[in-house]
Amino acid sequence: MVNTEQKRIVVVGAGYTGMLAALGAAHRGRGRVRVTLINPSERLTERLRMHQIATGQQLADHRIPDLLTGTGIAFVKGWATGIDTAARTVTVSTSDKRVAVDYETLIYALGSTTDSARVPGADAHAYTLNSPRSALHVAEHLKAADQGTFLVCGGGLTGIEAAAEIAESYPKVQVTLLSRSEPGAMMGARARAYLRASLDRLGVAVRAGAEVARVLPDGVELAGGEFVPGDGTLWTTGVRVAPLAADAGITTDETGRIVTDATLRSVSHPDIYAVGDAAAIRQAYGVLHGTCQSGLPTAAHVAENVARQARGKEPRPFRFGYIHQPVSLGRKDAVIQFTHADDTPRRWMLTGRAAVFYKEAVSSSPIKTYGLAKRIAISARMLGATGGRRNRPVTA
């Protein structure tokens, strides 16, 4: 006798990965699953483009209910404030009440934010790019100042892109990039040299080997006691994950990410999947670091596994290999470092206008992908995963 009862699938978080997981599960499991998506905002936040908002650029306003039209997915606008793993419920605080949403399978996609609590004063005196609102605060500051000095703390991809974008948009502002290591340290020597030359051309002053010990209203204090003045400071370094999973007794790593098995299920609660920045996913070469490049394939893979389980089949293991490190250097320049599967640099790189075109192609808004997910079964392999069978990565 065929069981026609629909499985209750709840997705917490509607960022890049949460949206794709919800859409993929609804499409692949059509008739067998009932999907509910929980998010505090109706607006889709494009985290990859926060540095553009920070310079006053206007992005498209994508509304989550509109993106879900025709999918059958129920949307609950509110903050997920608790998970009861025994009762299998998620507590959600909406604008006027608290509700408990039941699940049989939970997909945890809350993502991460910049950890501005790791250094004294950063929470109080530094801007972040954690949300469109916080990015707009940077834009308001830069527009009002239009000159002076601006500090960007962190030499990772976010810090580099933000420093370049600000310097290009506000040439009268002296931008200083403070980093404990050489910006783009994960890249090969040629790509690093090109990146550094591009920052020099834009007028960005780079202070490599500078460890910020404290953020002050008018600058930062370095570990050696030196004071670096600044009219504004942007904090881009460190990662903070919501404590929701850890508070619920789900096994997490030291940063609060859910530790998963090979299929992306929680090692302590197999009825919970974790995707993107919210998951500590181990591969043969180490634990994945949070990028859209790896996040979207995890979402597609979980959607496939949820649908498989709804059909009475076993979930499949996830495998992924990196292929590139794309970095924008303003609107007119970029550098792409191609990589081995473990994210170490290959010999090949791409620069200039060709790199801009490439990055826009691979890092463009996922709206088209979401539209396709309503109509076809987008596989993790299509987005970069190897499906447990091959080691050759495929770009998103």
Domains of the chain, first to last: 7-111+242-322+365-383 (3.50.50.60), 115-235 (3.50.50.60)
Q: How far is it, in rounded angstroms, from Cα 269 to Cα 216?
A: 43
Tens-digit pLDDT profile for residues 32-44: 999 999 999 999 8
- Residue 145 φ then ψ, to 5°: -80, -55
4: confidence class by pLDDT, cuts 50, 70, 90: low
Give the DSSP H/E element, type plus range, for residue 280: strand 279-280
Rounded Cα gap, residues 170 and 188, in angstroms: 29
What count of other Cβ atoms lies within 10 Å of the Cβ of residue 300?
31
pLDDT at 394 (0 to 100): 32
Report the alpha-carbon distance of residue 158 to residue 297 in Å, rounded: 21
Q: At what angle do helices 189-202 and 157-169 cross, to 10 degrees?
A: 30
pLDDT tier at 286 (50, 70, 90 boundaries)? very high
Q: Which pLDDT score is estimated for 365? A: 67
Token pair of 333, please? 């320049």
Other Cβ atoms closer than 10 A to 174: 17
145 within 8 A of 234, measured Cβ to Cβ:
no
Token pair recorded at residue 341: 């599967």
Q: Could you give the 3-state DSSP secondary structure of residue 283?
A: strand
Q: How far from chain centre, in Å, is Cα 388?
A: 24
Residue 385: band (very low, low, confident or very high) from pLDDT cuts 50, 70, 90:
low
CA distance 112 to 213: 23
Strand segments, DSSP code E, in 310-357 are: 324-328, 334-339, 345-351
SS3 call for 295 = helix
Q: What percent of the chain has pLDDT over 90?
A: 77
The 10s digit of each residue's pLDDT in 86-96 is 999 999 999 88
Output the pLDDT for position 114: 87
In order of 262, 270, 294, 384, the CA distances from 318 in angstroms are: 6, 15, 11, 11
Would you state the structure tokens that stand for residue 275, as one six-digit string?
A: 């995707």
Structure tokens at 155: 């030499």
pLDDT digits (tens, 9 = 90+) for 138-195: 999 999 987 899 999 999 999 999 999 999 999 999 999 999 999 999 999 999 999 9
> Is pLDDT of 369 > 90?
no
**Residue 145: predicted pLDDT:** 82
Place of tokens 């007794």: 249
pLDDT at 123 (0 to 100)? 95
Confidence of residue 337 (pLDDT cuts 50, 70, 90): very high
Which DSSP symbol is given to 127? B
Strands 74-77, 33-39: pairing kind: parallel
Task: Determine the pLDDT at residue 63.
Answer: 93
Residue 100's closest CA among 77, 84, 123, 117?
Answer: 84
Phi, psi of 215 (to 5 degrees): -105, 130
Distance of CA 38 to the CA centre of its chain: 17
> No. of H helices and E strands in the chain?
11, 24
Prediction pTM value = 0.91
> Is pLDDT at 395 greater than 70 in this prediction?
no
Model pLDDT, residue 396: 32
DSSP 163: H
CA 6 to chain centre: 31
Rounded percentage of the chain residues whose pLDDT exceeds 70: 95
Residue 382: its pLDDT value, please? Answer: 73
- Mean residue pLDDT of the chain comes to 91
Using the predicted structure, report yes or no on whether residue 124 has a pLDDT greater than 90: yes
User: Which pair of structure tokens corresponds to residue 63?
Assistant: 């509304």
